[in-house]
Structure 1
């Protein structure tokens, strides 16, 4: 099969997989930067989340949970790889690996920023649906595989 033999359906599948992969990467960026408006736009209004941070039903609850678990006093990086998208018409399932590094507090050298304190290895599983606004997640679940470091204590209120 050469490039000019690619069917329109195959091109649409590739475009859908690219859009969904971008959705996964936008999720990481939104969580890293605390961009809750961006995070909300990635999910359907009735989306569900099941993560080590809790369960949430509905876009507002999901964004609220993310905000509580991604404190602005910590630097966080979500490194997402191994994204596999399985299309089924206007729905898709997605599996991805997540490496998440949480850093806070000063280092010996202030030019280095915060110090990594917790690193998590998890597996993301998403359900996605094609909407009038493009692909959005209808559910997300993350399952811990391993961790190194100490989880932070909740800040005093």
Structure 2
């Protein structure tokens, strides 16, 4: 598998990990010093970002991550992708259209995310 394929798979695994309520300690996806910037808050360090993910994904969710654009520069990479997130709440669905701006680094254990930035584009609630 080449770097671009591995990085696209890493992004897919991120969406699935969030939908599965963030199992494990996150180290299969993130570096120790990774940071996350989303509507749910800002976290730095893998333990803090795992806690943020669990806190913000308590209801059923589904993350659709599409069209990853991967740029590799040695042991560093940037990835942009479209993101549609569906939150299933008692009062109805909440839909978010966002753009992922991700950074990754090659580690001894493979590619890991160092930064997740979710940029909101649109939102619909109560569907």
* Aligned residue in 1 for 2:79: 94
Q: Does 1:58 pair with 2:45?
A: yes
Q: Does 1:41 pair with 2:28?
A: yes
Q: Does 1:69 pair with 2:56?
A: yes
Gap regions ≥5 residues in structure 1: 1-13, 106-114, 151-157
How big is the shift at 1:59? 0.2
Distance 2:83 2:38 in 1: 12
Distance 1:43 1:92 in 2: 13
Gap regions ≥5 residues in structure 2: none
Distance 1:78 1:116 in 2: 17
How big is the shift at 1:116? 4.9
* Aligned residue in 2 for 1:78: 63
Structural RMSD (CA): 1.5
Larger strand proportion of the pair: 2
Q: Which runs of 4+ in 1 moved over 4 A?
A: none
Distance 1:53 1:35 in 2: 14
Conservation of the 8 A alpha-carbon contact between 1:40 and 1:60: no
Larger helix proportion of the pair: 1
Tell me, what secondary structure is at the counterpart of 2:52?
helix
* Aligned residue in 2 for 1:128: 104
Query: Using CA pairs below 8 Å that are at least 6 residues apart, which structure has the higher relative contact order?
Result: 2
* Aligned residue in 2 for 1:23: 10
Q: Give deviations 1:115-147, integer Å, cap 9, x for gaps.
A: 851000000011100000000001110010000
Q: How many residues align?
A: 126
